[in-house]
A and B are shown apart, each in its own frame.
Chain A
């Protein structure tokens, strides 16, 4: 796979919005976490989300901190599965922003990459993040996802050396997911110093959108991240509220504060 291919729908959408000067907001929700969980998706869009990360819960989320672990356990205990979550999406056709699934590679392999990607497409999901599928293991998946029309987003980390970072930037589709810090998902008091440096390093090799994730939980952090990255992914800060009982309206209000912070930049 090379970068001469035309960008897919996720990337076109994010580029178009970025090019208007808008800071991109991508909230995360664990599929199946509550009975009416798809209502969160609509609330996210109303709050000004530019894309949504949809977590497909896995029993052993080795890159997630306590909050998303708990969200995954809660969803699984409610009987959530990839199949049921994708079926639930029928309730929310035409959100107007791309849906990007995120899950661990075991769930992809379980159905087989072809069937898995085809199911995503049928459900209207156009991107995929697999945190335990690093670039050097992604050859098969890259081809299968491309053939299915699913944009496979790769993650870059502060520990990634230069040449590898170039390869990730080149082969990632949709956007480049910049992991802001050396750690798991979860809220943090401050944006890590490594975030700015990593974003700058990625930018040297690509003009693809760069979204910062891991630890971003407050409007101030979103504003700061928006100064150098194209946008932010907000996961644990959303899911902690959901686990504490916050409904779609509460999440709309919370995300609106992040939206405003990004717009001020």
Chain B
């Protein structure tokens, strides 16, 4: 999981399939990112923000009671404990610092669950930037708490009324908007999708999850490295960041998608939102709308590096249903005292289903990234639990 280099490729996936009007802007982001990551000043400033503002490092919590019930040793990487409540802040602080360094005065973002939008609004406020967040109308309804948080933080939230009115359409609209404002605005993509350099850059900003977890596992696990590394996959940023920390180990990677948004498990080769990857499509090549109870997994594709890891067999991608995810959320709440985001609950649902079987034999050690906390989903859960 290295540098995809000049053509931004992960195997046959990735690339920069951007409209000509955005190609130069992407090149500028790439150049600025390459300079910044080589600059100790930038790295130091980011590390400081991650520590003092976002509250890193996050703990590795052994899920003791649940482990006993499942017969596996489950450890949770607690991204839910970061400031703003999900891993999205890791990427956003990096990109916001980069935008400021590039002289941009405004951040543009798309958001599904609202976690990336909240993180963007937060980083913008912190660094004195403006923020404009595109969000599908349907997500605005089901994630009302996060919409209020963004506005409270001073961001402009623009409802997207086209298509499925969820993350896919919010992303399209953010790209359209960026075309007109490349000179003063940075498009802060929220997952490992989009034109090169985004899939790579976002993974690098998220690898802090995997790097920390690697050190924590080395200190706390008898074996040093877990047998399985599990994370939920929407576009795939918390998973990519987690996997990156264990790329050189024999740990098995499992990405868990929503049954109705399984780009990696069931997608076909295509190009959307600037990259070549796997997308859910109908027989005519039209993109199919995703459907998931977790707004952050409601995306019909997957980041290009995941498509590549799938082809290589380095990671496997599995799906769980809405019901399984809700059940897993309740179970974690009652055994460990943690209410997870519905996105993260997908990863746990697979662990619960697989534990003790051939995919996850009894006694295995599992590192699972708990990507976010469940407060934003309370109104959805209230109806179901």
Residues of A near any B CB (own CB < 8 A): 58-65, 69, 73, 76, 81-83, 104-107, 109-111, 131-137, 154-161, 164, 168, 179, 182-184
> Are B21's CB and A159's CB within 8 A?
yes
Chain B contact residues, CB within 8 Å of chain A: 7, 15-25, 162-163, 168-169, 172, 175-176, 179-180, 182, 268-274, 276, 279, 281, 284-287
Least CB separation from B276: chain A residue = A109
A154–B285 alpha-carbon span in the complex (Å): 22
Contact B18 A182 (CB under 8 A): no
Interface pair B19/A131, CB less than 8 Å apart: yes
A193 to chain B, nearest CB (A): 14
Is B270 a contact of A106 with CB atoms below 8 Å? yes
Contacts known (A136-B16, A137-B15); A159 close to B284, Cβ less than 8 A = no
Complex contact B20–A157 (CB within 8 A): yes
Please indicate the chain A residues that have their CB under 8 angstroms from the CB of B285 in the complex. 58, 82, 106-107, 109-111
CB closest residue in chain A, given B268: A110
- Which of B17, B163, B182, B274 sits near A59, CB closer than 8 Å? B163
Report Cα–Cα, A212/B9, bound state, in Å.
Answer: 32
Contact (A81, B284) CB under 8 Å given A60-B272, A63-B176: yes
Query: Nearest chain B CB to A195's CB is how many angstroms away?
Result: 13
Please determine whether B179 and A160 come into contact, CB atoms closer than 8 angstroms: no
**Min C-beta distance of A262 to chain B, whole Å:** 25
Q: Which 7 pairs across A and B sit closest by C-beta, in order of nearness?
A: A110-B285, A81-B284, A157-B21, A59-B286, A157-B20, A105-B271, A159-B24
A69 close to B162 (CB less than 8 A): yes
Query: How many angstroms from the CA of A157 to the CA of B182 in the assembled complex?
Result: 13
In the complex with contacts A62-B176, A106-B279, A160-B20 CB distance below 8 A? yes
Knowing that A63-B21, A63-B179, A106-B287 touch, tell me 19 more A-B residue pairs with CB under 8 angstroms.
A59-B163, A60-B273, A69-B162, A81-B284, A82-B285, A105-B17, A107-B284, A110-B268, A110-B270, A110-B284, A131-B20, A132-B18, A132-B19, A133-B17, A134-B16, A157-B19, A157-B21, A159-B23, A160-B23
B22 contacts which chain A residues (CB < 8 A)?
A: 159
Q: Give A55 Cβ to nearest chain B Cβ, in Å.
A: 14
How many angstroms between the C-alpha atoms of A109 and B284 in the bound complex? 11
Bound Cα distance A183, B17 (Å): 17
Whole-angstrom distance from the CB of A128 to the nearest CB of chain B?
15
Determine the chain B residues whose CB is within 8 A of the CB of A155 once the complex forms.
19-20
Contact between chains at A109 and B271 (CB < 8 Å): yes
Residues of A near B19 (CB, < 8 A) are 62-63, 131-132, 134, 155, 157
Distance between Cα atoms of A109 and B175 in the complex (Å)? 21
CB pair A59–B287 under 8 Å, yes or no, is yes
User: A69-B162, A107-B285 given as contacts; is B21 within 8 A of A179 (CB)?
Assistant: yes
Q: Which residues of A contact B175 (CB under 8 A)?
A: 62
The residue in A58, A59, A135 that gathers the most chain B C-beta atoms within 10 A of its C-beta is A59
Bound-state Cα–Cα, A154 to B23, Å: 13
Determine if B17 and A182 form an interchain contact, defined as CB atoms under 8 angstroms apart. no
Task: Pick the most buried of B19, B163, B182: most chain A CB atoms within 10 A of its CB.
Answer: B19
B182: which of A64, A182, A184 is its contact (CB, 8 Å)?
A: A182
Is B24 touching A184 in the complex (CB atoms < 8 A)?
no
**Contacting residue for A182 out of B23, B179, B270, B271, CB 8 A:** B179
Q: How far is the CA of A184 from the CA of B174 in the complex (A)?
A: 12
Neighbouring A residues of B15 by C-beta, 8 Å: 137
Q: Which of B168, B182, B286 contacts A159 (CB 8 A)?
A: B182
CB proximity of B177 to chain A, nearest CB, Å: 9
Cα A184 to Cα B163 with chains together (Å): 17
